Structure 1
């Protein structure tokens, strides 16, 4: 049975699920009826971070134009441009056994594509969630529903998966950013052209 988390809650992933080496990180959302006349395109992405909380290389940013992390430790299954339908809108597959030793944390984020040009923000998005599924058993391990009401934010750090004493843990972050993908990249030490 999946555990439902609240913002700020941290939970162990691998210690309480021995043998679990591969997970599916599913993200989903709905857009409110009023969208300002433009279609929404939300994008999940991930940042592989060193001990200092920064990306060590440009290719440690996993998104729709770079679908695979080093050693295939994290694979983005592709961009869903509409978010229509039930269940996960986008997924990342993480293999704990393939994560390079210098990577200590993976930040999972969602941004709104061209939010500024389309006059969109997360105040127009509802029912956002992240869930972690054991890839071998297809069992949902945990779920975090973002209940916060964001208003002007165009990017969200949904959660972090991080190493702690040789095990992997999950942190329900739910922190919003203005400035979209550019602001997120800057926060994690990457420059966007």
Structure 2
């Protein structure tokens, strides 16, 4: 059975799961509580940051228009524009064994596409979650349900995978931003 985490909790990934080198970061959500006449398009992204918490170059920002990091260590499996159905709405594959040495942290975020124009925010999103699966066995290792703590935010840093010595750990963040994807990019040191 997978471990269920709360906001702020951290857990070892590679140390407590010997041999774990590849994971699937599955993200999901529902938007059934609100109908404003327009579909919701939520987008997952990954920020590959150095020890200062900043992304060194644009190619290490993985999202629907740039699905793979330069060496393929992080890959977005594609944009789901509706979020329909059960299970993961979007997935990001992470290969710890091929991670460039300067990457210390991977920020995993979800944003609402055209949120301002569509008058949408995370207060209208429910059942948001992230889960980590062993990519080899497809066994779910952990799950973090974000809860209903958001109102006007249009972007959320869901979690971070970070290096501690030679091991990788998971941190349940759940931190909201107004300003959508642009605000997140600035937070990780990218020019918008």
Asked whether the equivalents of residues 39 and 82 of structure 1 are also in contact (C-alpha less than 8 Å), the reply is: yes
SS in 2 for 1:70: coil
Q: TM-score, normalised by structure 2?
A: 0.98
Residues 22 and 93 in structure 2, CA contact (< 8 A), matched pair in contact too: yes
Counterpart of 1:46 in structure 2 is: 46
Q: Distance in 2 between matches of 1:62 and 1:9?
A: 25
- Contact 1:27/1:130 (CA < 8 Å) preserved in 2? yes
Alignment of 1:174 with 2:174, yes or no, is yes
- Deviation, structure 1 residue 37: 1.4
Match of 1:183 in 2: 183
Deviation at 1:79, TM superposition (A): 0.1
Equivalent position of 1:85 in the other structure:
85
Give, in whole Å, the separation in 2 of the partners of 1:21 and 1:95: 6
Q: How far apart, CA to CA, are the structure 1 residues paired with 2:35 and 2:44?
A: 19
The DSSP-based 3-state class of the residue aligned with 1:72 is: coil
CA distance in 2, matches of 1:70, 1:94: 13
Residue aligned with 2:71, SS: helix
Following TM superposition, where does structure 1 have runs of at least 4 consecutive aligned residues deviating by more than 3 angstroms?
none
Q: Distance between the aligned counterparts of 2:138 and 2:38, measured in 1? A: 35
Aligned to 1:13: 13
Q: Structure 1: state its 5+ residue gaps.
A: none
Count, aligned residues:
192
SS in 2 for 1:123: helix
Query: Considering only aligned residues, what root-mean-square deviation do their CA atoms show, in Å?
Result: 0.7
Contact 2:29 2:126 in 1 (8 A): yes
- Deviations, residues 75-96 of structure 1 (Å, cap 9, x unaligned): 0000000000000000001000
1:43-66 per-residue CA deviation (whole Å, 9 max, x = no partner) reads: 000000001000011111000000
Determine if contact 2:33/2:125 at 8 Å carries over to the other structure. Answer: no
Cα distance in 1 for residues equivalent to 2:12 and 2:97: 16
Q: Equivalent residue of 1:39, what SS?
A: coil
In the alignment, what sits opposite 1:154? 154
The answer for the alignment partner of 1:115 in structure 2 is 115
